[in-house]
């Protein structure tokens, strides 16, 4: 299975592999990297149940729920949980939609989680613990998945992905994000943002760049990530910490940019990026958010250069 050898290097895999020998009745996997979480749960079930990783999704005793999880799904699990497994030592229900379970469905699921049959196991997968009720979380053994180590994500990108340097640098240790930035579309986005930071020198320039970015609204969170990563490297350059660069393929460009985005500028712009992310997450107007970010970048850069 693709990437499995890298997931097996992780602390989370070692933990789940140990759990497979004496499993609890239910687990909660928490982490933003959906690809990592998907591989991890398949490795866990294959070891615990003694089956091939490739057969996990095809086995009749393993039922997987994706997308929106409703009360009817919880009722279905509550009924099927008492069925005798067909070929495996346990039936297993995998709920890969932790962010899409409403409170009513969670409360319906809670009873079977509190008193599960010995022959039944549960695994919930979510990006954030806060999506689930405390009562549900308390019935499950939690495995918190951290970003992959830099060396591992770099090696993974070099082995499997196009645009390996860009995808590794912007992955944040996430296989899912690395795959995204390996595509030509996102590699081009990186080059566009870098060029924008070079060439945006006056307020009149903002309209054109804002218009270009607003035509790719679904990419705006990634634009913020790219800007933040570039600024991080500019600050490292200003401090003379060259081995701290994340965007090593753009070292010469970063050195040039750092004259305009030094330590003071970067520290002032970090809250701007954080505020933009929060506004996006709560449904804020994308055009307004991009305008604010670009104007703030110009304003802070100008003020810091005058000091």
The pLDDT tens digits for 153-184 are 999 999 999 999 999 999 999 999 999 999 99
Quote the CA–CA distance of 151 and 173 in Å, as a whole number: 9
Quote the pTM value.
Answer: 0.85
Tokens of 302: 């100008």
Quote the CA–CA distance of 14 and 8 in Å, as a whole number: 7
Task: Report pLDDT for 268.
Answer: 94
Per-residue buried b or exposed e for 271-287, using 16+ beta carbons within 10 Å of the residue's own CB: ebbeebbebbeeeeebe
Of the candidate ranges 95-99, 158-162, 210-214, 235-239, the one whose mean pLDDT is the lowest: 95-99
* Number of C-beta neighbours around residue 200 at 10 A: 18
Q: Is the pLDDT of residue 7 over 70?
A: yes
Tokens of 22: 């004496």
pLDDT, average across residues 243-266? 90
Q: Is the pLDDT of residue 307 over 60?
A: no
Nearest partner of 238 among 258, 216, 211, 222, judged by Cα: 258
The pLDDT-based confidence of 303 (bands split at 50, 70, 90) is confident
Q: Is the pLDDT of residue 272 over 80?
A: yes
Three-state secondary-structure class, residue 120: strand
Q: Burial-class residue 214 by CB neighbours within 10 Å (0-12, 13-18, 19+).
A: middle
Q: Scanning the structure block, which residue is given the tokens 């497979």?
A: 20
Per-residue buried b or exposed e for 124-144, using 16+ beta carbons within 10 Å of the residue's own CB: bbbbeeebbeeebbebbeebe
Task: Report pLDDT for 254.
Answer: 92
Task: Report pLDDT for 159.
Answer: 97
Quote the CA–CA distance of 266 and 246 in Å, as a whole number: 15
Three-state secondary-structure class, residue 184: helix
Task: Report pLDDT for 306.
Answer: 62
CB-based contact 145:31 (threshold 8 Å): yes
> In 11-90, which ranges are E strands?
26-30, 62-65
> In the chain, which ranges are E strands?
26-30, 62-65, 91-95, 120-126, 141-144
Average pLDDT for the chain: 92
Per-residue buried b or exposed e for 8-39, using 16+ beta carbons within 10 Å of the residue's own CB: eebebbebbeebbeebebbbbbbbbbebbbbb
CB-based contact 44:17 (threshold 8 Å): yes
pLDDT tens, 74-132? 999 999 999 999 999 899 999 998 778 889 999 999 999 999 999 999 999 999 998 89
Nearest partner of 293 among 220, 235, 237, judged by Cα: 220
Q: Scanning the structure block, which residue is given the tokens 């499997």?
A: 160
For residue 120, report the phi and psi dihedrals to the nearest 5 degrees.
-130, 140
pLDDT tens, 25-59? 999 999 999 999 999 999 999 999 999 999 999 99
The pLDDT-based confidence of 281 (bands split at 50, 70, 90) is confident
Per-residue buried b or exposed e for 240-259, using 16+ beta carbons within 10 Å of the residue's own CB: eeeeebbbebbeebbeebbe
Task: Report pLDDT for 98.
Answer: 74
């Amino acid at each position: 299975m693709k990437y499995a050898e890298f997931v097996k290097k992780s602390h989370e895999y070692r933990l789940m592999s140990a759990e497979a020998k004496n499993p609890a009745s239910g687990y909660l996997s928490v982490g933003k990297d959906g690809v990592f979480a998907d591989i991890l749960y398949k490795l866990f079930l294959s070891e615990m149940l003694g089956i091939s990783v490739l057969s996990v999704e095809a086995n009749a005793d393993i039922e997987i729920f994706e997308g929106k999880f409703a009360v009817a799904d919880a009722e279905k699990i509550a009924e099927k949980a008492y069925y005798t497994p067909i070929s495996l030592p346990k039936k297993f229900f995998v709920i890969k939609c932790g962010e899409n379970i409403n409170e009513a469905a969670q409360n319906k699921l809670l009873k079977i989680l509190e008193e599960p049959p010995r022959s039944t196991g549960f695994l919930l997968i979510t990006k954030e613990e806060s999506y689930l009720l405390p009562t549900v979380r308390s019935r499950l053994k939690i495995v918190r998945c951290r970003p992959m180590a830099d060396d591992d994500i770099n090696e993974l990108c070099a082995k499997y992905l196009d645009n390996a340097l860009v995808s590794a640098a912007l992955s944040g240790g996430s296989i899912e994000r690395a795959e995204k930035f390996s595509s030509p579309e996102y590699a081009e986005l990186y080059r566009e943002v870098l060029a924008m930071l070079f060439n945006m020198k006056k307020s009149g320039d903002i309209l054109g760049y804002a218009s270009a970015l607003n035509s790719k609204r679904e990419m705006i969170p990634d634009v913020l990530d790219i800007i933040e990563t570039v600024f991080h490297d500019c600050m490292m350059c200003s401090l003379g910490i060259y081995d701290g660069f994340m965007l090593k393929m753009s070292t010469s460009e970063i050195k040039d940019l750092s004259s305009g985005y030094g330590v003071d500028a970067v520290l002032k712009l970090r809250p701007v990026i954080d505020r933009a992310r929060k506004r996006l997450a709560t449904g804020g107007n994308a055009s307004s958010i991009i305008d604010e970010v670009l104007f703030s970048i110009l304003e802070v850069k100008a003020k810091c250069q005058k000091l």
